[in-house]
Structure 1
Amino acid sequence: MPAFPRRLLLLAGLATSGCARPHYFQADARIGPGSTAALPATTDTVRVAAGRHYNQHSGFYCFFMGRHYRRVWAAPATVPVLRLATAAPGGLEPGRPGGGYQSISMTLTGAQGREYALRALDKDPRRTVPKVLRATFLLNAVRDATSAGMPYGALTVPPLAQAAGVPHSRPRLVYVRDDETGLGAMSERFRGKVALLEEKYAVLASRTPDLAGATGFVDSEGMLQNVYAHPCYALDQLAFLRARLLDVWLGDWDRHEGQWQWAAFPEAAGRVQYRPIPKDRDQVYFKLDDGLVPWLLTRLAPQFQTFKAHYGNVAGLVKQARFIDHRGLSQLTRADFQRLAADLQRRLPDSLIDQALRRLPPAVFALEGPHLAAALKARREALPQAADAFYLTLAHSPVLGGTAEPERFVVHRYPDSTTVQVFSATLAHLRPGGDSLRFRRTYLTPETRRLTLEGLGGDDVFEVITTGAGRPIRLRLFGGPGHDQLRLQGSPQRLALFDDAADMRADAGPRPQLPPKRHRAYDRLNDD
């Protein structure tokens, strides 16, 4: 490494060195006169800063670690005080704790079985750091990276999602009193913090007009279990693409399976279609690469994409959701991506963008509103190009899954393309006329390098017909625990059935990523 970058890294280490601070976070979000006094019981609103501890660094420190949204975290905002008795119809009671390794969150329960999520704006990523390093400067640095998130960004999403035709939550800001006891075991963790309160889509009483026909709600695990179990369940792929393009436009890179709820809509003959409902908009307008150290980090971890007027690395932006994207967008063509991108452009005019950003606290809008508005408008104009990059990312190595029922995969391979058809006798019994075709798509050699088919359960049949000379798209075929068959026709093919553990270990290819509780006993059908 040249001397200059080495010196920069050394200075960055010195700038962030030392022990982890025992009192890193602000004790109370309240600011202004009387902020240290006991809060009167009748107080309805307070003046707060979401995290003023992030804005207490020198310019030297920010050169290395980035300015991020430090001024936003320290900006004043007037927020209502959380009153559990009146926060929702019928009042709220404490439920189960939630959150992952960083979020401070919990579920609150209301009337008619309705559920609400309470999430602190500030995060504590302590558990993401190995125990042996939690007493070092590294914990300070990881905690400081929270300032890359826009704490109030989720407030701007509802009108944009509504116009885009995407179901959405309706978060609102609250302040949790410094003497709050009504949150049960989580009371102490929430005291003195600013949080987002939003209703979950958990019971039918939570339905909004755009979900009026839904007969139930499930999380991603429940949806995937049903879709993998039986062909009568399906995911609304066009609705999912619309939601994912909205994510791309907003720069929301953290859209893994856990960031979705699914509304079940009944169809004819007992079939069910799931429509997506995004949740947890913590990472919209993310800003990380404005310091030397985080800039280097974004080169090593491309999913941490900074929100700018141009999209940058779209493949990195959608990386976190690659599992659900491959399975939820498998039927859609390049033309579908372009058509929905153009539709979103029409649905998101300048006036709507400006109106949505006015939902930010006034002091925050003054700091970031004009910049965010300009970036959103520029990204809207470039959305078709971003959608095309998104499509090509998925088309490079697509994954097509079957179900636990018997299916027949018919693969026609040509030098310039590969066409896949999936037939299901189970599905034929549910359709008028007995149509058994479950899936059909043609993959083009210039776009697709490798195609993976997962048979899952049942006695599946893989028919592979190769026509013409040259090298077709590479195939990776996975069977399930049933008695699967591989039938080859046409030009010579190097495809074989492997069914013992030794052969599976000898195969250098990666295993398919599986959701929780899904069948894991796999026979291996070799790729060429």
Structure 2
Amino acid sequence: MISRYALPFLLLTTVGCARQTFFQPDARPDASALRPGADSARVTAGRHYRRGALGRALLGRHHRPAWVRPVTLPVLDPATTIPGGLRAGKVGGGFQTISMTVVGADGRGYALRSVDKDPYRTLPKVLRHTFVLNLVRDATAAGHPYGAFVVPPLAEAAGLHHTNPRAYYVRNDETGLGPASERYRGRVVLLEEKLEGRQNIAGRLPGANELEESDNMLAERYQSPKHRIDEATFLRARLLDLWLGDWDRHEGQWTWAAYPQADGRTRWEPVPQDRDQVFFRFDDGLISWLASKAVAKFRTFGPRYQSIEGYTRNSRYIDEHVLTELDRAAYMSTARDLQRRLTDAVIEQAVRQGLPREVYAQEGPQMIAALRARRDQLPQAAADYYTLRAREVLVAGTDADERFVVERLTDSTTVVSVYEIDPPAKRADSLLYRRVFNPTDTHQVLLHGLKGDDVFELRGSVRRSPLISIYGGPDEDQVRDASRVAGLRHMTRFYDTSRNNDLEPAPELKDKTSHGVESHAFDRDGSGR
């Protein structure tokens, strides 16, 4: 066993200081010139990830065989790859990948980004020239270079929106990508249609009239009750993420398609993007195993699910703000439906179609077997995911006036409903939200009124109930708590400023108002997480 004192020395002697020439100079192992007009080339995604026996034992085998395996890929020709050709657009600002937008003759955008990554700029400056940079760079091999290409048929079978990425080699003398040409030369790249911005809707998302990033979509959702999120589709997408072992699904990995409804409302449907971390394999070396214990989000894809909490840590914010209304039955029925859709034939076709022929030969059957095993366990993964999401649930209103009703009906049933109040229409309140909570699953429900003059009503007498925490928001709010939880006190708590609110004293109500406005803080876009 390696002692904790010997490990730092072993790290230093194994990986040394930051290597100045870490990356392969060209994806083609053969240094000879590529003949003019060649439409394919023999390439490797990353020969620099090759390690000897000691390196694999310490750093992990990861997906090194796929990175170093020579494969045949088409050559990117900006003039002919897409009918009508591609012209260079805006260069992206990604910290790890080389990225830019290229535009087709019809005005539609495509993302062109390197398959390999360089995390140099993600590290603090003090670490950028140490062995730590070597370790972090090497960890790129934990991601599968061709994993993203397996996903589209699986997403299609699951009934989800998806892009259709393709892999290319960029010639080492390419000039057709404008000033950015030099940055792409000699690299393996991914080209996929961009599903963001109104110009990219036509022919791709029939019926949609907008494509927005998560922060813009949530801004609309919290501003007006006329905007609703398609939670059922988002849950389906998140269960697919778990199945694929895709742990990096934060709010920046989604765009949202807006579908106008007959009643004048808008339904927002999720569009998953950036499948860089599917089939992630990390904890198969001494150092990477230790790192996986320290960083819970680095969960490995295999025949068994690892920590559901780890798989979903990066997505905590978007999960909390979108998955608010669905109950356990919805999670389980969605998992069973995915099992029916993701047949053995669908899985095999996706893996055969997505992996280069040479990579499929060395690992395709194992990937298929792992996907089948995980599919069979999907209901249990969904149950664990529900348990995690149900512990504490956010129920947010909008900037309009709303009425929140909490009914403590039985020891296992607490119903939370939210109604729209629309005085100008002089009509009855309309239901915006309803969910039944069981205190066995849910410890706390957070009610956020946001702006508007909101009303909070609680009733019912029980022995057990979730804690109800009310955040009134900056406008005038009313709280009427006629509920009782036997043997417990203050199972309702109200957070707001001391003024301009109407509270009736009640045994369960704990007045947590203060002179400050800290209770009005609400993270609408993920910037405060």
TM-score in same-fold range (> 0.5): yes
- Answering whether residue 107 of structure 2 is matched by residue 151 of structure 1, we say no
* Partner in structure 1 of residue 412 of structure 2: 416
> Is 2:41 the partner of 1:49?
no
Per-residue Cα deviation, 1:80-112 (whole angstroms, up to 9, x for no partner): 111112222332222222253222211112233
Does 2:468 align with 1:475? yes
**CA-CA distance at 1:435 after TM superposition:** 5.1
Q: Distance in 2 between matches of 1:312 and 1:87?
A: 40
Higher mean C-alpha deviation, range 180-189 or range 194-203 = 180-189
* Pair 1:72-2:82 in alignment: no
Q: Counterpart of 2:276 in 1: which secondary structure?
A: coil
Alpha-carbon separation, structure 1, partners of 2:418 and 2:178: 51
1:359-395 Cα offsets, whole Å, 9 max, x none, are 2111211222111111000001111001111111100
Equivalent in the alignment of 1:249 = 243
User: What RMSD in Å do the two structures reach over aligned CA positions?
Assistant: 2.8
> In structure 2, the residue corresponding to 1:103 is in which secondary structure?
coil
Q: Residue 374 of structure 1 aligns with which residue?
A: 369
Q: 2:25 aligns with which of 24, 27, 34?
A: 27
Q: 2:79 is matched with which residue: 66, 85, 89?
A: 85
What is the alpha-carbon distance in structure 1 between the residues aligned to residue 70 and residue 160 of structure 2?
Answer: 31
CA offsets per residue over residues 290-316 of structure 1, 9 Å max, x none? 011111222222211100101121121
Range moving further from structure 2, 96-105 or 312-321: 96-105
Deviations 1:401-460 (A, max 9, x none): 211111111122464343211111249959xx7551100111111111122122222122
CA-CA distance at 1:485 after TM superposition: 2.8
Q: Secondary structure at the match of 2:462?
A: coil
Structure 1: state its 5+ residue gaps.
521-528
Distance change (3 Å), C-alpha of 1:451 and 1:94: same
Residue in structure 2 matched with residue 525 of structure 1 by the alignment: none
Higher mean C-alpha displacement, 318-327 vs 370-379: 318-327
2:335 is aligned to: 341
Paired residue for 1:515? 525
User: Residue by residue, what CA displacement relative to the aligned partner does 1:113-139 show, whole Å, maximum 9, x if unpaired?
Assistant: 311011110001001111011111110
SS in 1 for 2:315: helix
Give the alignment of 1:254-265 within 5 angstroms: 254-265=248-259
**Does the Cα contact within 8 Å between 1:176 and 1:195 map onto a contact in 2?**
yes
Please point out which of 85, 100, 105 is paired with 2:99: 105
Change (3 A) 1:500 1:189: farther
Q: Please say which of residues 135-144 and 320-329 is displaced more in the overlay.
A: 320-329
Whole-angstrom CA distance in 2 between matches of 1:210 and 1:177 = 30
Report the counterpart of residue 495 of structure 1 in structure 2.
493
Distance 1:365 1:312, change over 3 A: same
Which whole-Å CA distance do the structure 1 matches of 2:398 and 2:496 have between them?
A: 20
Moved more, 417-426 or 385-394: 417-426
Kept in 2, the 8 Å contact 1:16–1:137? The answer is no
Deviation at 1:166, TM superposition (A): 0.8
Structure 2 distance, partners of 1:11, 1:510, is 50
Identify if the C-alpha distance between structure 1 residues 358 and 428 changes in structure 2 by more than 3 Å, giving closer, same or farther: farther
Number of residue pairs the alignment of both structures matches: 510
How much has 1:228 moved relative to structure 2?
1.2
Q: Please state how far the C-alpha of 1:183 moved relative to its aligned partner.
A: 2.7
Structure 1 296/516 Cα, relative in aligned 2: closer, same or farther at 3 Å?
A: closer
Larger mean Cα displacement after TM superposition, 103-112 or 459-468: 459-468
Q: CA deviation at 1:31?
A: 1.9
Residue 189 (structure 1) shift: 2.2
Distance change (3 Å), C-alpha of 1:445 and 1:82: same
Compute the displacement of 1:334 (Å): 0.6
The 5-angstrom pairing of residues 69-468 of structure 1 reads 69-202=63-196, 206-207=200-201, 211-359=205-353, 360-413=355-408, 415-426=411-422, 434=428, 436-465=430-459, 467-468=461-462
**Is 2:151–2:350's contact at 8 Å kept on the other side of the alignment?**
yes
What SS does the corresponding residue of 2:16 show, helix, strand or coil?
Answer: coil
Secondary structure of 2:212 counterpart: strand
Cα distance in 2 for residues equivalent to 1:510 and 1:308: 43
TM-score, scaled to structure 2: 0.90
Equivalent residue of 1:319, what SS? coil
Distance 1:143 1:246 in 2: 28
CA contact (8 A) 1:75 1:363 kept: yes
Contact 1:12 1:64 in 2 (8 A): no
Indicate conservation of the 8 Å contact 1:114/1:202, yes or no: no
Task: Identify the residue that residue 485 of structure 1 maps to in structure 2.
Answer: 478
Percent identity over paired residues: 47
Aligned residue number for residue 504 of structure 2: none
Residue 8 of structure 1: CA displacement? 6.1
Q: Look up the equivalent residue of 2:273 and give its one-letter code.
A: K
- After superposition, the C-alpha distances for 1:212-252 in whole angstroms (9 at most, x for unaligned) are 22223222122111111111111111111111111111111
Taking the aligned partners of 1:448 and 1:117, their CA distance within structure 2 comes to 42
Query: CA 1:362–1:484 in structure 2 vs 1: closer, same or farther (change >3 Å)?
Result: same
CA contact (8 A) 1:428 1:436 kept: no
Q: 1: distance between equivalents of 2:236 and 2:58?
A: 37
Report the CA distance between 1:516 and its aligned residue: 5.8
User: How far did residue 338 of structure 1 move?
Assistant: 0.8
SS at match of 1:358: helix
